[in-house]
Amino acid sequence: MLGCISSKQALKENWFSQARIKGSCKIKIQYDPQDASVIYIRHDRRNYEVCHLVKYQSMYKKSTFEEVQLIQLERRQQHADFEQIELNHQIQLAQEIEAIVQQAKAEDDSSLPKNIKGIHHNRKLEQEIFAHSKSEQNEQPQVAHITPIQKNKLSLFQEKQKEALDDDYST
């Protein structure tokens, strides 16, 4: 139950190293049920060794063995609860990531054709409009297939270009 008791004999005979290698080390002990901070290792009928808690386990000092068992049980339960909460959070995160990936794929699949549909025609039209605006020979564009909506887009495009040029020259 308590792996936090130290004795001279245990250190001398490397009990802790052997326990690490074998997984455990069993010895017969005697103890006072009202004080878990001390145990007794009986060598024979008259000789015994007193073992004390190591410093980092001083929280169990003056506790009963029953209290120590309850504290350890609570800690194991808290650890199990924490692991369950952590697992739930990891599952939720994985689900959120998967949802984001699926949404991105759906948006990518649906928006790609719309964005590139007629790109060559639109680029050619833009070049004609730009060439016409540079020449400024006529008020009306020479291209007959420009619609009023495209004219509005052209004027907006030209305004944005002027703003960008003004910003470039002002800095």
Q: Which two tokens stand for residue 146?
A: 């420009």
Q: Which of 25, 53, 28 is nearest to 42 (CA)?
A: 28
Q: Which of 27, 74, 77 is nearest to 2 (CA)?
A: 27
- Is pLDDT of 5 > 90? no
Taken in order 66, 67, 69, 70, the sign of the CA dihedral is positive
CB-CB contact of 22 with 52 (8 Å): no
| Mean predicted confidence (pLDDT) in 40-57 | 80
* Helix, strand, or coil (residue 156): helix
Taken in order 34, 35, 41, 44, the sign of the CA dihedral is negative
| Distance set, CA 52 to CA 20, 56, 62, 79, 87 (Å) | 20, 12, 12, 27, 38
- In the β-sheet with 35-42, what is the strand arrangement from edge to edge? 5-6, 48-53, 35-42, 30-32
pLDDT per position as a tens digit, 79-113: 999 999 999 999 999 999 999 999 888 876 665 55
pLDDT per position as a tens digit, 115-127: 566 777 778 888 8
pLDDT per position as a tens digit, 124-166: 888 888 787 776 545 554 555 667 777 777 778 788 777 777 7
Global pTM reads: 0.42
pLDDT per position as a tens digit, 66-77: 888 898 899 999
**Residue 36: what are its φ and ψ, rounded to 5°?**
-80, 0
